[in-house]
Chain A
């Protein structure tokens, strides 16, 4: 068993935890040693040579990231020799990385006028780099005090790779720190990407020149999250820059309940979602699907009531008044309410309360989505009026209804038949409590704004109930509902020991959310499926026919 050690760093007596490296001990005590290739989730690598220190009795300048802290060690982290060496190392690193902005004498003035980068097709400096506002290399060059680059910079002119779904890769910015390779291996066992080539030709790539998709990438996005430069970027989010706001919430796209941080842009839209707990990966849905799903241009934004053939926009009060009026004759078991478990606990509580108490009907149907996320059910016999929170019921059965009210986030065939269509907020737009597949309570926080006039499910139902003059629906917030339910004590899903199955196994990935086919709303998912099929067909022409048939079947299943 390793015991804790006491060592001296820059004249200070420091206690190290068992197994800690010098760098970890120093950082934990607020002693800053410049570092680049190291990462808290990864074992030491020693590639960048920036974290070098002087240790009494040790020859040369060892890397503190890979030097265990031992009893009695005397370490110096900031001598002038070290400073010069580190600067030299950084200059070498930057000889192959567009670094002109870092040594520009007008940098401060330029950034006063242009704090955000230009969304250029190729990064040739900080001014055109998607990483500008959050870049570790920039921070490092400031703290080290980079003044010039004594070498003639070399720009490799590698093509900017924008052919894979979700991830853009510009290897001209890569400093070969290896974090991406290491985290892929740590998260998935075997890394999809590796150091390809040798010596000065080394670069990150996939074996045999494959694309990421062909190489079996799961698109968990961890490589992007650890990349210190703009080399790897999230295509959707890359130009939003430093987030206006970051909110911790829970992903609802399957029942793993992964904790996410959702970043929003200046106009309060979701820009990017990332795992809070970076020890295990999340899946492509949690990482990449949420902002695009939420920001689709076809999102329902206004309440609508059908007059004649067309749906007409109306203010909430009028739409709900009409809904209330038209529901009244159906109080009793001629009414059914259908929702699924993508609604929060609070939503479902009031949906059920509304069905039982206001509509006095036993027909509250709460669907558990299947393992693909598809929610389908059938309405009981004798139901003549229904309120659905999604595309859950066969259209033919709906034709027999006298009244159909839908509250949803996107238009659907069901919504197209509804007498009243109400726009809802979903995913990162909602607050409340949710239960994951292991029956743990998970919290949801509102991370971004609602599109148009959309409202949360629980709020719509409460207002509808009040329009029907029902008492007991005056909740001011989801917390008030949770209190009534006794559902407090939700905790973020951090410290999971296991990644969600979909993070490593695409066949476990859900295809639907709340009745919506995710591929239709998130283009990258469709591109991903097609790219995978093409890759498979290419590898094995005999498989081509089978994969085409499978694709057709999948498409039919998804299309419903």
Chain B
């Protein structure tokens, strides 16, 4: 896949991979050996007919390929870019046993981009209106999937979003150079064209409670997709010094508020010289690479070893190429500030891997006396997010786990309140876009049955076509 060279891309916010040309796409799609019992399809959380669309690409039927993907995946341009394919479809690819797996993610991206650029996005025929109204709380990947699926069933859908633009983590979390916002907007526009209503600046839990959505606003079902937006902090001394940011704040400034286009946009960027990013997931990589582009020297500080980093391999690889430094098996002990409460340094301690913990990963253990000082002026804390507490706090009958996640039946995504369903990070804790979409898919299916007064389907996907 042709990519921007690292030295170029650290100076811009353009995407790194240029995308396949038609020739490259056809060549790659031809590598698929069309297994009789394709393993890739069930490995996809939304069950995209992978061999089906690859075959269409092979025949140069690119628009049909896009439509085939869209039968199951409402947001293919997004998923092609942000799914951890190496853990899902590409992991099970038979070609991948001896050679490189078929680049399914890149081909999905190719098909979706082709369709969008060709302007030939067709609207499917919509069934008769059912008169049923569904409220979707949160315009992130889960909510958008639910909206996209249910509008196709003829229901009236309204999506409520607290921020000023739809997209959720697709807008504020994932940087422009991984997921251009123009694409997210195009996907949202598609939903609007299908008839989905979007209400921005609306905080369910404050402007309406869930109960009021039913009783006062006349909705027949509600989907909660409010995400895991509550940032975790390290809880070390000095964490409130000026210069310590949650990854959410840092990325929201850069991505949603477009601080990298300052002064065209009013929010100033945080462009500091020496940046430490704490964490090893995709959010940490996104933060580090954004900081690089804003002119910093960036170091990732992660308390475990490289193999245990949960980030997508491609992101780690890109980060390294771009010049991000990695301090593995290192954990911060305190942040040090000057008389004006500004960060000047951070003390860290070395770690070694000890016995496995309850998650099965070897636990890192601090090495006594190995403390050292890093001279930095910015700390970005990317160690995870917890579920947004607002809806649970304002909906007393909603059963919530001790971690703040909404408890649902995994087969139906139904919550403890009849007619209320949930999916995405609010249920699973911080996870991936595709998982959120997968849960949204199940929830949509359940909501459709529920509003018709039918029993909720219990079998998990896939369904045979």
Contact = CB atoms under 8 A, between A and B. Distances in A.
Interface in A286-307: 297, 307
Interface residues of A, number: 6
A313 interface: yes
Main secondary structure, interface of B, reads loop
Nearest to A309: B8
A4 interface: no
B7 A313 contact: yes
14 contacts: A297-B262, A297-B263, A307-B5, A307-B7, A307-B8, A310-B8, A312-B5, A312-B7, A312-B8, A312-B11, A313-B7, A313-B10, A313-B11, A314-B7
Interface of A: 297, 307, 310, 312-314
A307 B4 CA distance: 12
B323 to A, nearest CB: 11
Contacts of A312: 5, 7-8, 11
Contacts of B7: 307, 312-314
Main secondary structure, interface of A, reads strand
A312 B263 CA distance: 23
B405 to A, nearest CB: 43
Cβ-closest 9 pairs across A and B: A312-B7, A310-B8, A312-B8, A313-B11, A297-B263, A313-B7, A312-B11, A314-B7, A313-B10
Interface in B1-20: 5, 7-8, 10-11
A296 B246 CA distance: 30
A315 to B, nearest CB: 11
Contacts of A313: 7, 10-11
Nearest to B11: A313
A314 B10 CA distance: 11
Report which residue of B7, B262, B263 has the largest number of chain A beta carbons within 10 angstroms of its beta carbon. Answer: B7
Contacts of B5: 307, 312
Interface in B34-66: none
Nearest to A305: B7
A334 B11 CA distance: 34
Interface in B363-417: none
Contacts of A297: 262-263
Nearest to B7: A312
A307 B263 CA distance: 28
A385 B10 CA distance: 30
Given A297-B263, A312-B11, A313-B10, 11 more contacts: A297-B262, A307-B5, A307-B7, A307-B8, A310-B8, A312-B5, A312-B7, A312-B8, A313-B7, A313-B11, A314-B7
Nearest to B264: A297
Contacts of A314: 7
Report which residue of A297, A307, A312 has the largest number of chain B beta carbons within 10 angstroms of its beta carbon. Answer: A312
Contacts of B11: 312-313
B243 to A, nearest CB: 15
Nearest to B6: A312
B462 to A, nearest CB: 45
Nearest to A297: B263
Nearest to A313: B11
Contacts of B262: 297
B138 to A, nearest CB: 36
A450 to B, nearest CB: 15
A530 B263 CA distance: 23
Interface in B263-307: 263
